[in-house]
A and B are shown apart, each in its own frame.
Chain A
Amino acid sequence: MSMFGQVYVKNNRYKIKGNFHHLTPNIPIRNADDGWKLMGVTNPRDMTYIHAYGGEAPFFEALSQGKLLGTRCDNPDCEFQGTVYQPFRIHCMDCLGRNTIIDMTDAAQKNAVIHTFMVCERSGAFSLLDKPIKFINVEFEKVDTILMSYLSKGSPEIGMRVVPIFKKQSPTYTIMDLSWVPAGTEEDQLPEGFGF
């Protein structure tokens, strides 16, 4: 019986258990128009990757705790000291100093608006979000960048006030744990597992 590949870190090394790949046989590809002659072969591949979040790990951990973290350059020698980054950037893109982690949850609840949006009827393989996906790009006061995310309730419009929601139950520890709803949405209307 197969088991999802699992990984933890001990002594700064990966410890793995379970199945990281699944075996499937090759199957010939033949030409129906020409006597079923051989044209090629399928190469099945199903593999689990091991991916490090590094300095962004606090951001993804915080989502599961209902917090939106961003970063700020506090380097007094930086020409652009005070730049606030969301998406969370580990290092300032100007001075390359290590940024300070800041909690933006309150600010996001008070002043986040939709900068632009789109409604996606189709997705690529392996997409775990329900369709249609309402992509939104979220603008915050006094933040220099614009976060890409998705709206879980209502119809998006440019300039619409939105508030963050977090997948605190059974989090995936991915960017999908962060979503948004129109300001004023009640807690009991949120998708399963999500809370403010």
Chain B
Amino acid sequence: MIKFSKQQLKIPQLMRPVYLVTAGQSKFDRAIPDKRTEELCIDALTMAAELVNMSPAQLKSYIHSCYYGHFADHFGDQLLGEAVIHDRLGLDPLGNIGIKTGGATGGSTLWEATKAVASGYSDCALAMGWERMDEVPTDEGNFLISCAADKDWESPLGHIYTGYYAVMAQRYWQIFGKAEDSFRRTLAEISVKHHGYARMNPFAQSPMKITVDDVLKSPVVAYPLRALDCCLMSVGAACAIICDEKTAEQICKNAPHKPLRIWVAAGSHTLRPADRRDMEIPLLPNETADQYKDLGERFPGGDRYPGFTGFLATRMSAYYGYRMAGITDPSEDLDVIELHDAFTISDMQSYEDLGIRPYGQGRDYVESGDCYHTNPKTGQPGKLPSNISGGLIGCMHAVGATGIMQTFEMASHIWNRWAEIHGEEKIWRKFGRPKPADWTDLQVKGAKRGLAISHAGVGSHVTSTILIDPDHLLKKDD
């Protein structure tokens, strides 16, 4: 579709306020040979219960319907895995459903759980996501991931998803990055930042103290993308409990944090970038059509939208989501974000799709230092810190769990519990990971509002999950 009807542009509405009350996650790693998937899901749900000072059985007693995010049946080699997890969590005979939208599965799972509560169907819903990517070696894993491209038109061409992103990276680099080395270094800086933040996260799979040059010297996977530009392949689980207001108050009665308002909106675009047709840019509240009039003059070749440089699905999820939650300018209204950094280039592309920077100017979000917890240029807090978890590059990409992990990360900042959740010695010991001597508290001080992006394919499905402290809403409920 390249033109929208009025009906299609309706701003989605939740029929009543919806809250995220708690969340939890397992350890994330490339392989976890000593645990079955259901053990990881139980780890996540147990953690969610502990955070609200409940036993798992107490928390379970509130759950009315369950939403399970698990992308790739062929990775785990178990169809109807949702039924296995549901049984092992002891939640039969409640209704449950499996959700799969590739890399966006975690966000889509939250989307479904939120709608279930908003509609009144359930007062409390479980959103649980997981992925098991260690049952095949990496090459076979790359093959299985490439099955999420078009199997007749794309997958046979190399069976490597990185390649399908690299063509976007090339085009973006040449047009908006003007093929400058400095732009390539800025991309590499994203990887340095995410592996660096992962060092402070005991759940994270790939903590690394590296430099821009290390990224630029890492092996080429699909030029211009190198190994350290790419996300991880992971095993792990994450969950969130989504409630109406009354249930949220009950569950948080003895909790050290308050329930957070949640909104989730979704967008989509063609599985094959090949099928994208030219269209006008759908505008976010902080943009005007005028500002893009001369885009093609400033960046020759950059006037094809979304072309191979933008993600329409991301743009549409923000188009709906910002207006649902009352966000008029993401840089001003949000305090912390988690982006879907499947590749350094897609992280960069998303800054523009989300209106953090105008189209063509994404690199400035990194180069200004705004994306850091502490701006390296000024030593002051970053304006809008992103991917403090380490993201998909540093923390994990256990596909079905990823969007839920990101949302949990944001919640931990808004609850002011980041240091407790990430810093306690016992968690580091439990995961057999040494806590670094220079461990730093990355709590984003005073965070009240956050956004997490969950993204599939080469932009086929994207969700925007918005969390807001209910005492700091941006608009009154309709």
A59 CA to B221 CA in the complex, in Å? 31
Q: Digit string of A148-178 for contact with B (CB within 8 Å is 1, else 0)?
A: 1110000000100000000000000011100
Q: Which residues of A contact B456 (CB under 8 A)?
A: none
Are B170 and A145 interface neighbours, CB within 8 A?
no
> B153 — which chain A residues lie within 8 A by C-beta?
87, 148, 175
Which of B171, B221, B222, B225 has the most C-beta atoms of chain A within 10 angstroms of its own C-beta? B222
Contact of A145 among B141, B219, B275 (CB under 8 A): B275
Do B275 and A175 touch across chains, with their CB atoms under 8 A apart? no
Is the pair B274, A87 in contact by a Cβ cutoff of 8 Å? yes
* Complex contact A148–B157 (CB within 8 A): yes
Residues of B contacting A145 in the complex (Cβ-Cβ under 8 angstroms): 274-277
**Chain B minimum-CB-distance residue to A34:** B34
Which A114-137 residues have C-beta < 8 A from chain B? 115-129, 133, 135, 137
Please give the distance in Å from B351's CB to the nearest CB on chain A: 20
- The answer to whether B158 and A121 have CB atoms under 8 Å apart is no
CB interface residues, A 78-125, toward B, < 8 Å: 79-80, 83, 85, 87, 89, 93-94, 115-125
Is A40's beta carbon under 8 Å from chain B?
Answer: yes
Does residue B214 face the partner (Cβ distance < 8 Å to A)?
A: no
Across-interface contacts of B462 in A (CB, < 8 A): none
Is A8 interfacial (CB-CB < 8 Å)?
no
The CA-CA distance from A129 to B222 in the complex, in Å, is: 14
Do the beta carbons of A117 and B159 come within 8 Å of each other? no
Give complex CA distance A64, B174 in Å: 35
Q: Taking the complex as formed, is A62 at the interface, i.e. its CB lies under 8 A from any CB of chain B?
A: no
List the A side residues contacting B166 at CB < 8 Å: 118, 120, 135
B156-171 with Cβ < 8 A to chain A = 156-160, 162-164, 166-171
Interface size classification for chain A: 35 or more
Point out the residues of chain B lying under 8 angstroms from A176, CB to CB: 156-157
A56 near B152 (CB under 8 angstroms)? Answer: yes
Q: How far, in whole Å, are A126 and B140 apart by their CA atoms in the complex?
A: 8
B370 to chain A, nearest CB (A): 28
CB distance from B76 to the nearest CB of A (A): 11
CA distance A115 to B175 in the complex (A): 11
* A118 near B274: Cβ-Cβ < 8 Å: no
State in angstroms the CA–CA spacing of A176 and B164 once bound together.
16
Please tell me if the beta carbons of A124 and B145 are within 8 angstroms of each other in the complex. yes
Taking the complex as formed, is A147 at the interface, i.e. its CB lies under 8 A from any CB of chain B? yes
A9 at the interface (CB under 8 A from B): no
Closest A residue to B277 by beta carbon equals A144
Q: How far is the CA of A129 from the CA of B475 in the complex (A)?
A: 55
The answer to whether A126 touches B143, judged by C-beta atoms less than 8 angstroms apart, is: yes
Kindly identify which residue among B146, B152, B157, B220 contacts A133, using a CB–CB cutoff of 8 Å: B157
> Are B171's CB and A124's CB within 8 A?
no
Please state if B1 and A93 are interface contacts (CB–CB under 8 Å).
yes
Q: Is B420 an interface residue (CB 8 A)?
A: no
A123 vs B171: C-alpha distance when bound (angstroms): 21
A-B pair count, CB < 8 Å, reads: 142
List chain B residues, Cβ under 8 A from A83.
277
CB distance A121 to B159 under 8 Å?
no
Closest chain A residue to B168, Cβ basis:
A116
| Chain A residues within an 8 Å CB radius of B141 | 124
- The interface bits of chain A over 13-41 (1 if a CB of B lies within 8 angstroms of the residue's CB, else 0) are 00000000000000001010000000110
The residue from A45, A117, A124 contacting B146, defined by CB atoms under 8 A apart: A124
Does B77 sit at the interface, judged by CB under 8 A?
A: yes
- The verdict on A2 contacting chain B, using a C-beta distance below 8 Å, is no
In this assembly, does B224 line the interface, its C-beta being within 8 Å of a C-beta of chain A? yes
Q: Is the CB of A148 within 8 A of B156?
A: no
Residue A146 is within 8 A (CB to CB) of chain B in the complex = yes
Which partner residue on chain A sits nearest B172 by CB separation? A116
Task: Please indicate the chain A residues that have their CB under 8 angstroms from the CB of B158 in the complex.
Answer: 120, 123-124, 127, 129, 133, 135
In the complex, chain B residues whose CB is within 8 Å of the CB of A53: 152
Pick the contact of B274 from A80, A119, A127, A137 — CB < 8 Å? A137
Instruction: Contact check, B275 vs A39: say whether CB atoms are below 8 A apart.
Output: no
Report Cα–Cα, A176/B155, bound state, in Å. Answer: 10
Whether A129 touches B157, Cβ cut-off 8 Å, given contacts A120-B166, A137-B308, is yes
Given A87-B153, A118-B169, A149-B157: A125 in contact with B139 (beta carbons within 8 A): yes
A43 an interface residue at 8 Å Cβ cutoff?
Answer: yes
Q: How far is the CB of A194 from chain B (nearest CB, A)?
A: 16
Residue B294 is within 8 A (CB to CB) of chain A in the complex: no
A76 to B70, CA, bound (A): 43
* Contact partners of B170 in chain A: CB under 8 A: 116-118, 158
A175 and B220: CB pair below 8 A? no
Cross-chain contact A120 with B163 (CB below 8 angstroms)? yes
A146 touches B223 (CB 8 A): no
Contact of B273 with A by CB under 8 A:
yes
Query: In the bound complex, do residue A122 and residue B221 qualify as a contact, i.e. CB atoms below 8 Å apart?
Result: yes
Within 8 Å by CB of A122, from B145, B160, B171, B277, lies B160
B33: CB under 8 A from chain A?
Answer: yes
Q: Which of A80, A118, A158 has the most CB of B within 10 A?
A: A118
Can you report 9 residue pairs joining A to B where beta carbons are below 8 Å apart?
A: A40-B33, A43-B77, A83-B277, A118-B170, A120-B162, A122-B219, A125-B159, A148-B164, A158-B301
Interface, chain B (partner A; CB < 8 A): 1-3, 33-34, 77, 139-143, 145-146, 151-154, 156-160, 162-164, 166-171, 174, 219-225, 272-278, 301, 308
Q: A83-B277, A122-B222, A148-B153 are in contact. List 4 more A-B contacts (CB 8 A).
A: A45-B77, A116-B170, A121-B221, A125-B139
Q: 8 closest pairs, A vs B, by CB?
A: A124-B142, A124-B159, A118-B166, A116-B171, A124-B143, A125-B143, A119-B223, A125-B139
